[in-house]
């Protein structure tokens, strides 16, 4: 501790800075964009967890209402926002999977005789 003697001049006392000027604070926009502006090592696990939540809500959480599908859609949308670099690849894979599923479902819905005729046409076209 420094002892001030009477013959030393006193340093002028400055009032403390107001809180607003003391340190820059984060704006509300920075808080709103938190998970989406976070580094990749935080966003990717959160995105995978959101996809897991979407899977659980869509297929494991069985209710008689449509709310689990709505919640699954919200989880999937959040995951695509977190995995924004992978968004295009995930969407292409989902559309290809949807097209393959639709083709398989349409083929399975055909009567057996039509399926046999189409199968025979495929085999015949391969034998040429």
Say what percent of the chain tops pLDDT 70: 76
pLDDT: which is higher, 7 or 116:
116
- Tokens at 14, concatenated: 């400055």
Contact 82, 50 (CB under 8 A): yes
| CB neighbours of residue 48 within 10 Å | 13
Whether residue 65 has pLDDT greater than 90: no
pLDDT band at 128 (very low <50, low <70, confident <90, very high): low
Mind listing the pLDDT tens digit for each residue in 8-61? 666 667 777 766 654 556 665 556 667 777 888 888 999 999 999 999 998 888
Q: Which long-range contacts (CB under 8 A, 24 or more apart) does 107-113 make?
A: none
CA dihedral sign, ordered 69, 75, 81, 86: negative
pLDDT of residue 86: 86
Give pTM, 2 decimals.
Answer: 0.51
Question: At a CB cut-off of 8 Å and minimum separation 6, what does 103 contact?
Answer: none
Nearest to 47 by CA among 35, 58, 32: 35
């Amino acid at each position: 501790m420094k002892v001030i003697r009477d013959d030393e001049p006193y340093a002028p006392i400055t009032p403390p800075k107001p809180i607003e000027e003391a340190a820059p604070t984060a704006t509300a926009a920075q808080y709103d964009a938190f998970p989406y502006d976070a580094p990749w090592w935080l966003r990717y696990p959160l995105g995978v967890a959101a996809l897991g939540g979407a899977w659980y809500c869509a297929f494991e959480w069985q209710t008689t209402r449509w709310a689990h599908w709505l919640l699954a859609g919200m989880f999937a949308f959040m995951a695509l926002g977190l995995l924004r670099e992978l968004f295009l690849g995930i969407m292409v894979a989902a559309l290809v999977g949807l097209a393959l599923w639709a083709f398989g479902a349409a083929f399975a819905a055909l009567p057996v005789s039509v399926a046999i005729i189409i199968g025979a046409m495929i085999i015949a076209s391969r034998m040429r």
